[in-house]
Amino acid sequence: NPIRIEFPGLLAVYGVGRTVLQAMSDTPFFSVIIPSYNHARYVCEAIDSVLDQTFSDFEIIVVDDGSTDHTRQAVQAYEHPAIHYIYQDNKGLPGARNTGIRHARGQWIALLDADDLWHRERLAHIAEHIRRHPEFKVFGSPSPETPRLPDSLPSHPPVEELTVRNFLFKSPFSPSSVVIEKSCFDVVGPFTESLKSIEDRDMWLRLATRFRILLIQSDNWQYRLHDAQMSANCPRMLKYYKIVLRDFFRNNPEYRRLKRPAFSFLYRDAGICFIGRRKNRLKGIGYLLISGALHPTALPFRGYPRLFRTKMLIRTLLGGRIAGMARRMGATVST
């Protein structure tokens, strides 16, 4: 008679193995969050730049934030298993990002605005830095220095740890360059949906008080300029920038010694925005004067030789009076 041999243990191991593999496939390394509001003309290029990545362990979550253009048709035409489309009534950019994060299954959240692009090696590049620097929970890169993406990325670019001070005095990176371990949001909370601008700076400040952040000096993404960008609205940027700083210093009194210089950089950025966008040059110059009175070194002297000479002339003529004026103006504009 034929001998019958059964392997119940082996079958059990096989079943467990299948379960583990299924669980692994349900947990991508990166969840790429792409919020889009009436950006059908851009969003497909953003998606393509993700699908073209050399690192393939990711999912893409496109959050259509109440678009009235053909965003739905553009995204759903892909029929790609890695792409998940979510439609919601318009809640604004922070609300769209929060929706994407809530639905994300990955360990790391990678943000990408619908009108920006990634270098094809970007996710592989970030994954390698995550492996090298496990103590960091947030990774980002500065705005690109050139309008075109490079052919390849450096294997060992310069890196720098960022602190709260970095985010108070400048904007070291933009959302499309940022990767955050998803568990961080359980600690600092979601993006603040009441903010109609500067919601990213608010999030970076909250993260910087609790986690280590690494800046990677690499042109691994592309920022595309157009008139519909939120950063083109200078008055709104200034309004919400003030709200973010006031909330930060109220909630973090240990940083109060940095309050005046932080507001100085706020008015510096406002001045540059108004002058650069040619919305109201006179108002822009006024904001630069306020910035200089609060903390003169915040003024953009580099590349502005006339501004530097004006500063030195004022200091020569007014002498010690300028210090008193700065204190009085600081008490007025930074409270």
pLDDT tens profile 89-137: 999 999 999 999 999 999 999 999 999 999 999 999 999 999 999 999 9
302, amino acid identity: R
3 state SS of 322? helix
pLDDT at 229: 60
Q: What is the DSSP letter of 2?
A: P
Provide the token pair at 154.
């450096």
Looking at residues 12-31, what average pLDDT do you find?
Answer: 57
Cβ atoms of 155 and 220 closer than 8 Å: no
Looking at residues 78-85, what average pLDDT do you find?
Answer: 96
Q: Which residues contact 204 (CB under 8 A, 6 or more apart)?
A: 138, 167, 172, 173, 213
Tell me which of 8 and 239 has the higher pLDDT. 239
pLDDT at 15: 43
pLDDT-derived band at 317, boundaries 50, 70, 90? low
| Alpha-carbon distances, residue 73 vs 42, 68, 139, 208 (angstroms) | 13, 11, 33, 39
Q: Is the pTM of this model over 0.85?
A: no
Residues β-bridged to residue 111 = 33
Mean residue pLDDT across the chain: 85
d(Cα 292, Cα 299) in Å, to the nearest integer? Answer: 6
Q: Where are the beta strands (DSSP E) in 5-143?
A: 30-36, 58-65, 83-88, 108-111, 117-118, 138-140
Looking at residues 265-281, what average pLDDT do you find?
Answer: 83
pLDDT-derived band at 289, boundaries 50, 70, 90? confident
Looking at residues 36-58, what average pLDDT do you find?
Answer: 97
Q: Is the pLDDT of residue 64 over 80?
A: yes
Cβ atoms of 169 and 245 closer than 8 Å: no
Tell me which of 260 and 230 has the higher pLDDT. 260
pLDDT at 223: 84
Let me know how long the chain is. Answer: 335
